[in-house]
Each structure stands twice: as structure tokens, then as C-alpha cells.
Amino acid sequence: MAFPRVTAVAFLIFLIGSLSILCIGLLALSQPAVSLTTDQHNIESVQGKIVSLGPEGPGMDFILETATGQYLHFRCASSCHTSLAHLQRHLYEQATTVVYYVEEPKTPLLALNVD
């Protein structure tokens, strides 16, 4: 071997890269990205435009107007994958918004993800 240090560095980079890809693959297989059902409810989706935003926080509320003119009141769950800035941008731009939610008895619809 003419360059033992270069060979050692190349082998180390290859080893770390291989182990990283293996770990990421195992994690991806063990946890599904999107679950179609929760323990008690099916996840549903609706498309429309945000017309109102409530106070900031994990229990943030917003109202969505669908294409049929129906107004739906949502409460953003703690697992809601969105931010206030994202919702405000959709409100100001009147952008089409897709909401994934579950229905709970006697409460507003629980938004799980807003895109």
C-alpha cells in the first residue's frame, strides 16, 4: 500500500456512510410516515381556503371554507405538523389548503396536518 492514510480515510468514510444508510433504512421501515387510521378514528382530508385564524398555540383554531361554501372549524392538535407562519401565508394568499383531520365527539374537528 502506497498511501495507507488515504486508504484508511476512504475506508472510514465508506464505513460511516454504509452504517448511516443502514440505520436510516431500519428507522424508515419501523415507523410508517403516515398512518391511515388512528386507534379510534379514520383520518380524513378536506381541501379549501383558510378564512380565519385563532390564537397561536397548540390548541390554535382556524376556519376553512370548502369549494362548496361550507365552513369547517378546526382545532390544531399537538401533533399538527404546521406553523403559524405557514397558516398565515395561506390566509393572506388565499392559497388552497389541504387539512388532514379526525372527528371527535362534541369538539371542533382535530387537524393533524395542514399543507
Shared-domain flag, residues 49 and 90: yes
Q: CA 83 to CA 79: how far, in whole Å?
A: 11
Q: CA 83 to CA 81: how far, in whole Å?
A: 7
Asked if the structure places residue 63 within a domain, the reply is: yes
The DSSP bridge partners found for residue 49 are 65, 96
Domain count, the chain: 2
Highest mean pLDDT among 4-18, 21-35, 71-85 belongs to 4-18
Residue 3, domain extent: 1-31
pLDDT band for position 114 (50/70/90)? confident
pLDDT band for position 27 (50/70/90)? confident
Asked if the structure places residue 20 within a domain, the reply is: yes
The residue-averaged pLDDT of 59-70 equals 87
What CATH number corresponds to the domain at position 90?
A: 2.40.50.140
Higher pLDDT, 26 or 37: 26
Give the distance, in angstroms, between the CA of residue 84 and the centroid of all CA atoms in the same chain. Answer: 14
Asked if the structure places residue 86 within a domain, the reply is: yes
Does the pLDDT at position 80 exceed 80? no
Shared-domain flag, residues 14 and 67: no
Cell of 59: 390548541
Q: What is the pTM of this model?
A: 0.61
Average pLDDT of the residues of the chain: 82
Does the pLDDT at position 102 exceed 80? yes
Which residue bears the cell 403559524?
A: 84
Asked if the structure places residue 38 within a domain, the reply is: no
